[in-house]
């Protein structure tokens, strides 16, 4: 099993904004933005926000990940509650629904402040509509405003400011975040009430998950025939099936490069959430169910922390 490393920022070069960001005319909001969760996506987004002149306050469970952000000008706090006290708008981008709820309802969590006084809370983690609704109710009953924001895209797309943002909930929060969204996204959609953005995002993730397993199985078959995977990908690139994502993932599979852009455990979590949504509707999704099993098995083989393209490893058995 190849050892993978997380692309953690050691230092943040404030002059090293991507070409896209440098060309974008961004006037940063004067509000203070809190950020909970400096994982792959969170750290990339915070870097973008700092590079475009936003005032940012950060917290991460593993505090050492905050150091490069402190050096780049972010204010670091010791608990999520402290971040809420110091910010006007608080973003959260953590692993899964349980982590999201822990941060809001847990000890020294967001609701530790008791009264949010109109502050805005933006949930960015990929979660299910029910969890988002529970968080919305918690925030609103403490006098806060809530927006669910689902981000679609890879770490590289986040770095380049090329994410797609799907939002649902309080429109005034959506407006408050305008300069942040302009920094990190190429397209931003307001989809109405809380839950809608989660549904749309999970539907998109279904397409991603099923496509990756199809790609992995096809490449594994080529491998059994000893056909060069590079040749297959070169031909694939000329077909109408090509997509940026599948090409990138195909290249990673061919090289055996599974450094996480999107950890496999998150892909499997998304499929689990999709199936649970479908279950509530009695909607049959047999292909997604098998796709979920394939990702679950790959996790059991020890590839949780690797990129979702590591699903190829299982297909080769």
On whether the CB atoms of residues 239 and 218 are closer than 8 A, the answer is no
Minimum distance between the CB of residue 45 and ligand NA7, rounded to whole angstroms?
9
Of 90 and 254, the one with the shorter C-beta distance to ligand NA7 is: 90
DSSP 189-244: EE-SSTTHHHHHHHHHHHHHHHHHHHHHHHHHHHHHTT--HHHHHHHHHHSTT--H
Of 166 and 220, the one with the shorter C-beta distance to ligand NA7 is: 166
Of 87 and 125, the one with the shorter C-beta distance to ligand NA7 is: 125
Minimum distance between the CB of residue 182 and ligand NA7, rounded to whole angstroms?
20
Minimum distance between the CB of residue 94 and ligand NA7, rounded to whole angstroms?
3
Question: Between vectors from CA 98 to CA 96 and to CA 101, what angle results, nearest 5°?
Answer: 110
Q: Is 263 helix (H, G, I), strand (E, B) or coil?
A: strand
Cα distances (Å, whole numbers) of residue 317 to 189, 216, 220, 223, 230? 41, 11, 9, 11, 20
Q: Is 291 helix (H, G, I), strand (E, B) or coil?
A: helix
Minimum distance between the CB of residue 289 and ligand NA7, rounded to whole angstroms?
20
Separation CA 295–CA 275 (nearest Å): 13
For 115, list phi and psi in degrees, rounded to 5. -125, 120
Separation CA 128–CA 200 (nearest Å): 10
C-alpha closest to that of 121 among 151, 84, 86: 84
C-alpha closest to that of 215 among 304, 310, 285, 298: 310
Residues 6 or more apart whose CB falls under 8 angstroms from that of 257 comprise 2, 251, 307
Of 80 and 220, the one with the shorter C-beta distance to ligand NA7 is: 80
Minimum distance between the CB of residue 5 and ligand NA7, rounded to whole angstroms?
12
C-alpha closest to that of 49 among 183, 158, 186: 183
Minimum distance between the CB of residue 154 and ligand NA7, rounded to whole angstroms?
9
Of 150 and 315, the one with the shorter C-beta distance to ligand NA7 is: 150
Q: In the complex, which residue's CB is closest to ligand NA7? A: 39
Of 103 and 191, the one with the shorter C-beta distance to ligand NA7 is: 103
Of 41 and 180, the one with the shorter C-beta distance to ligand NA7 is: 41
Minimum distance between the CB of residue 43 and ligand NA7, rounded to whole angstroms?
7
Eight-state DSSP code of residue 303: I
Of 91 and 174, the one with the shorter C-beta distance to ligand NA7 is: 91
Q: Which residues bind ligand NA7 (CB under 6 A)?
A: 37-42, 60-62, 65, 93-96, 99, 102-103, 125-126, 263, 266
Minimum distance between the CB of residue 260 and ligand NA7, rounded to whole angstroms?
7
């Amino acid at each position: 099993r190849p050892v993978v490393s997380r692309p953690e920022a050691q230092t943040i070069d404030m002059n090293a904004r991507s070409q896209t960001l440098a060309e974008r005319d961004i006037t940063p909001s004067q509000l203070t933005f809190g950020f909970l969760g400096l994982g792959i996506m969170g750290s990339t987004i915070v870097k973008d926000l700092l590079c475009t002149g936003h005032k940012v306050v950060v917290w991460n469970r593993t505090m050492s990940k905050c150091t490069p952000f402190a050096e780049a000008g972010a204010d670091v706090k010791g608990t999520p509650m402290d971040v809420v006290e110091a910010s006007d708008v608080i973003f959260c981008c953590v692993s899964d629904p349980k982590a999201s709820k822990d941060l809001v309802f847990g000890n020294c969590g967001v609701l530790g402040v008791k009264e949010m006084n109109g502050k805005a809370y933006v949930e960015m983690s990929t979660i299910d509509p029910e969890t988002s609704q529970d968080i919305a109710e918690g925030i609103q009953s403490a006098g806060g405003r809530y927006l669910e924001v689902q981000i679609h895209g890879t770490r590289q797309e986040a770095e380049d400011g090329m994410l797609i943002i799907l939002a649902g909930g309080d429109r005034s929060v959506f407006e408050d975040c305008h300069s942040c969204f302009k920094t990190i996204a190429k397209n931003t959609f307001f989809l109405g009430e809380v839950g809608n953005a989660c549904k749309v995002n999970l539907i998109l993730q279904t397409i991603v998950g099923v496509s990756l397993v199809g790609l992995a199985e096809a490449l594994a078959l080529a491998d059994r025939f000893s056909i060069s995977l590079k040749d297959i990908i070169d031909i694939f690139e000329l077909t109408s099936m090509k997509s940026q994502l599948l090409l990138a993932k195909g290249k990673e599979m061919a090289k055996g490069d599974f450094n996480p852009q999107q950890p496999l455990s998150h892909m499997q979590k998304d499929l689990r959430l999709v199936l649970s949504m479908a279950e509530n509707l009695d909607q049959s999704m047999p292909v997604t169910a098998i796709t979920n099993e394939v990702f679950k098995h790959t996790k059991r083989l020890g590839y949780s922390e690797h990129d979702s393209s590591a699903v190829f490893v299982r297909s080769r058995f």
